[in-house]
Amino acid sequence: MAPTCFFALYWLPLILAAAVRGADQEDGGCLASKKCGDLNISSPFWIIQGQADKPCGSLDFQVYCNNSTGVATLRSSTDSGFDIINISYGDRTLLVFDVHRLARLNSSTDCRIPVFNTFAKLPVAFTISPSNLNLVFYNCTKAPSAEQQRQLGLVETRCGNNAFARLGGRFDGPGDYDKYYLEGCSSNSTVFSPVLEPPDGKANASRYVELVRGGFLITWDLPVTSSGKFTLPASLKS
Ligand SMILES: *[C@@H]1O[C@H](CO)[C@@H](O)[C@H](O)[C@H]1NC(C)=O
Ligand SMILES: *[C@@H]1O[C@H](CO)[C@@H](O)[C@H](O)[C@H]1NC(C)=O
Ligand SMILES: *[C@@H]1O[C@H](CO)[C@@H](O)[C@H](O)[C@H]1NC(C)=O
Ligand SMILES: *[C@@H]1O[C@H](CO)[C@@H](O)[C@H](O)[C@H]1NC(C)=O
Ligand SMILES: *[C@@H]1O[C@H](CO)[C@@H](O)[C@H](O)[C@H]1NC(C)=O
Ligand SMILES: *[C@@H]1O[C@H](CO)[C@@H](O)[C@H](O)[C@H]1NC(C)=O
Ligand SMILES: *[C@@H]1O[C@H](CO)[C@@H](O)[C@H](O)[C@H]1NC(C)=O
Ligand SMILES: *[C@@H]1O[C@H](CO)[C@@H](O)[C@H](O)[C@H]1NC(C)=O
For residue range 132-143, list pLDDT tens digits in order.
999 999 999 999
Question: Domain ranges in the chain?
Answer: 37-221
- Can you tell me the mean pLDDT for 31-44? 91
Confirm or reject: Cβ of 206 under 6 Å from ligand 7. Answer: yes
Q: How far is the CA of 74 from the centre of ligand 2 (A)?
A: 15
Taking the alpha carbons of 86, 87, 92, 94 in that order, is the dihedral positive or negative?
Answer: positive
Residue nearest to atom 9 of ligand 5 (CA): 112
Q: How far apart are CA 75 and CA 48, in angstroms?
A: 11
Q: Is 86 in the pocket of ligand 4 (CB under 6 A)?
A: yes
The SS3 assignment for 62 reads strand
Confidence of residue 159 (pLDDT cuts 50, 70, 90): very high
Q: In whole angstroms, give the CA distance from residue 60 to residue 75.
A: 7
- State how far the Cα of 208 lies from the Cα of 216, in Å rounded to an integer: 13
pLDDT in the model for residue 189: 86
Q: Which residue's C-alpha comes closest to atom 4 of ligand 2? A: 69
pTM for this model (two decimals): 0.81
Nearest CA to ligand 3 atom 13: 49
- Å from CA of 126 to ligand 2 middle: 25
Dist. CA 24–CA 77, nearest whole Å: 32
37 C-alpha vs ligand 2 centroid, how far in Å? Answer: 14
Percent of the chain beyond pLDDT 90? 57
